[in-house]
Chain A
Amino acid sequence: MRDILVQSQYQLVAVLHQFVVCQPQLSKQKKEKEKRLAATDRAVCISVLEAMGFRVGQGLIERLTRDSPSFKDELDIMKFVCKDFWTKVFRRQVDNLRTNHQGTYVLQDNKFALLTQLSNGKQYLDQAPKYLAFSCGVVRGALSNLGLESVVTAEVSSMPSCKFQVVIQKS
């Protein structure tokens, strides 16, 4: 019974996410001159979504790590993101973490929670970036509040599997 409750609440999050994704497009359509610039439109929408995710990620990581001890190093932080953070936010762990030990990490999730409802293969592949922008922002926001400035991008070759690339910015 408890499992059903958790699932339902996550379902609500997933559904809300779908609407969050559609929102920037709906309002942007109202501005006439931007209608002509389709490509710029898309980029703006994606950056708006990413910015929303950033703020959400910051808030989430604050709540999650309130009582935890501080992290040993960058790799420790990334492992935490892949295990605990991913579990709390996307309800599973990252399947594969690779790094070049010089600030670049690739997180592979073979069954990404926010893509499972979209398709199971290559259908709608061109729509995927919209649906990943928010999550990239969430990861970037989380890392930001853990002290790591980063650039997070995502790529999908076949849904629902996707790879997040995190490049830590050295200041």
Chain B
Amino acid sequence: MSRQSNRTTDNKKMSSELFTLTYGALVTQLCKDYENDEEVNKQLDKMGYNIGVRLIEDFLARSTIGRCQDFRETADIIAKVAFKMYLGITPSVTNWSPAGDEFSLILENNPLADFVELPDNHNTLIYSNLLSGVLRGALEMVQMAVDVKFVQDTLRGDNVTEIRMKFIKRIEENLPAGEE
């Protein structure tokens, strides 16, 4: 009954299933604890933010990526390296704004939402809102303030999941007063 040859792919699939199921249990518990979807969305974003500020260090340690030159490069790294590394998918980067400060990540399939259906009384729940927090927190740690929004969501009937990311400003590193 040995499955030697499939060991690595099975491990990866299992890890993502464990993650999907754990995330599902988390969202379910949050829905029970908080009365409305807005609160749950906020909590997910907050948790995501806290995860993101730590995850960026893990990401930088594992990949050998240096500093990005511009926002376009940032977008590519997020889609092709970071998402691939942690979620096993590669979203596409599209819908650049003319000023080059806004883009969309299109996810054909969202591993967080495997096996998930939203019940009717949770229409405004952004199930994968953890992701927006993660992206926001991680980028803040590399001196970029961004705004992240879910524009489309397969769980709410759209064809794809679309995350819109907007660059707000570069965060200046502030030295504590008295140190120069």
Contacts from A to B (Cβ < 8 Å):
2-13, 15-17, 19-20, 23-24, 26-27, 48, 52-53, 55-56, 59-60, 63-64, 68, 87-89, 91, 134
Contacts and interface: CB of A to CB of B under 8 A. Distances in A.
B26 A52 contact: yes
Contact of B50 (A3, A4, A19, A88): A19
Given A2-B8, A4-B85, A15-B54, A9 B16 contact: yes
Interface stretch (B27-35, B70-78, B102-110, B167-175): B27-35
A13 B19 contact: yes
Interface string B22-59: 11111011100110000000010001001100110011
A8 B62 contact: yes
Nearest to A89: B18
17 contacts: A5-B88, A8-B59, A8-B85, A9-B87, A12-B55, A20-B25, A23-B26, A26-B43, A27-B30, A52-B25, A55-B21, A56-B24, A60-B14, A60-B18, A63-B14, A88-B14, A89-B18
A12 B62 contact: no
A64 B21 CA distance: 13
A16 B58 contact: no
Interface residues of B, number: 37
Chain B contact surface mostly: helix
Contact of B25 (A10, A11, A56): A56
- Closest 8 pairs (CB-CB, A-B): A27-B33, A52-B25, A88-B14, A56-B21, A9-B15, A8-B85, A13-B19, A59-B21
B14 A64 contact: yes
Nearest to A88: B14
A13 B18 contact: yes
